[in-house]
């Protein structure tokens, strides 16, 4: 299963097409140089090549399912692994007077709740971000193919960065709708002492108090946070990979071993993740405060002086430390 996902990712004709074409000796798609016999070369069909070599056709239902499954693993497992860091981050955002920094936040949490307290919110985190990963990476491939068919082969190559941006924004729109209920429950569990310790306790209580609104009132700030984040993630990652192979790596990508390519992937992912965190951080603070308090609107929170003060403190640092987890999906290999 996992090898199939990795193979399909490498066979994906959208996977850094500029570099792949140069390394394959195809050059610009707009040109059609003559072959050895003087006849025009027949354009190479990368998708067809993938069908012959791999067990799943690019753009097929199985392909989308495997991409979605990769998203479940990359988002669900990795976000759950950094729950303690996320818990401290959320508490720093909603109560900066009490939680003054990362180390102070961990110290206060351990003193009050013990080691088990650092795992609060793991269940909604795993469920919510698994659903988000399924939609994000699955729909990203769907929208890439959809928009590519609308543009045509040549324009897909020429406008590939814009295609990445449009496809990622479209996918994230639906992914955040899937994430919103679990994100709301997670923030309540992590930032309101005594409210609830488990998802089983928090969800019924939230529904009783505010109805369905409790689960979806944070979806707009989620869009504000995640859509720019995802657009920056895909576009910056692709361009960073190109830059690393062009200016840093001493040999072409086609000559690099798989471990060497993996190192480049993680470096590019971390660099892009830092920019993602900066872009999305203000809306992330709004999400934390909005899901903690009842009766607040995103506008009211954004205009509050304490919000602006908390944005300038160190609560951005945990988001930067956890950026590497966003690049465990095989589509970036």
pLDDT classification of 6: cutoffs 50, 70, 90: very low
Report pTM. Answer: 0.70
Residue 30 is predicted with a pLDDT of 44
Q: Give dist(CA 8, CA 67) in Å, integer.
A: 9
Q: Of 3.20.20.70, 1.10.3720.10, 1.50.40.10, 1.20.1250.20, which CATH number belongs to 2-19+51-332? A: 1.50.40.10
Tell me what pLDDT residue 180 has. 95
| Residue 126: pLDDT band with limits 50, 70, 90 | very high
| Percentage of the chain exceeding pLDDT 70 | 67
Residue 332 contacts residue 230 (beta carbons within 8 Å): no
Output the CA angle 23-230-191, nearest 5 degrees: 145
Count of CA atoms in the C-beta half-sphere (13 A) of 249 = 22
Q: What is the pLDDT of residues 186-221, one digit of tens each?
A: 999 998 888 999 999 999 999 999 999 999 988 988
Most confident of the ranges 51-60, 265-274, 296-305: 265-274
The domain limits of the chain are 2-19+51-332
Q: State residue 46's pLDDT score.
A: 46
Distance CA 289, CA 91 (A): 9
CB burial of residue 53 (10 Å; 0-12, 13-18, 19+): exposed
**C-beta separation of 79 from 126 below 8 A:** yes
* pLDDT above 50 (res 305): no
């Amino acid at each position: 299963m996992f090898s199939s996902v990795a193979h399909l990712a490498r066979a994906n004709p959208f996977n850094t097409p500029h570099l792949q074409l140069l390394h394959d000796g195809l050059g610009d798609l707009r040109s059609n140089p003559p072959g050895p016999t003087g006849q025009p070369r027949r354009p190479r069909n990368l998708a067809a090549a993938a069908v012959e070599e791999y067990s799943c056709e690019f753009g097929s239902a199985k392909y989308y399912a495997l991409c979605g499954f990769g998203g479940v693993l990359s988002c669900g497992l990795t976000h759950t692994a950094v729950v303690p860091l996320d818990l401290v981050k959320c508490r720093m955002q909603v109560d900066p007077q009490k939680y003054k920094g990362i180390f102070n936040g961990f110290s206060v949490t351990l003193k009050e709740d013990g080691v088990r307290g650092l795992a609060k919110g793991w269940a909604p985190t795993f469920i919510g971000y698994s659903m988000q990963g399924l939609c994000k990476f699955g729909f990203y491939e769907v929208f890439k193919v959809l928009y590519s068919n609308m543009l045509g082969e040549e324009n897909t190559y020429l406008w590939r960065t814009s295609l990445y941006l449009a496809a990622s924004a479209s996918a994230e729109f639906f992914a955040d709708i899937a994430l919103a209920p679990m994100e709301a429950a997670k923030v309540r569990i992590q930032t309101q002492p005594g409210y609830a310790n488990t998802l089983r306790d928090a969800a019924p209580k939230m529904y009783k108090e505010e109805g369905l609104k409790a689960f979806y009132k944070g979806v707009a700030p989620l869009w504000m946070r995640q859509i720019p984040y995802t657009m920056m993630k895909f576009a910056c990652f692709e361009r960073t990979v190109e830059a690393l192979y062009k200016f840093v790596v001493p040999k072409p990508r086609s000559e690099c071993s798989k471990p060497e390519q993996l190192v480049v992937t993680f470096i590019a992912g971390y660099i892009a993740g830092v920019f993602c965190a900066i872009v999305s951080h203000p809306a992330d603070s709004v999400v934390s405060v909005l899901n903690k308090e009842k009766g607040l609107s995103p506008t009211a929170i954004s205009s509050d002086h304490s919000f602006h003060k908390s944005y300038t403190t160190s609560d951005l640092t945990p988001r930067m430390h956890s950026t590497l987890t966003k690049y465990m999906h095989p589509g970036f290999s």
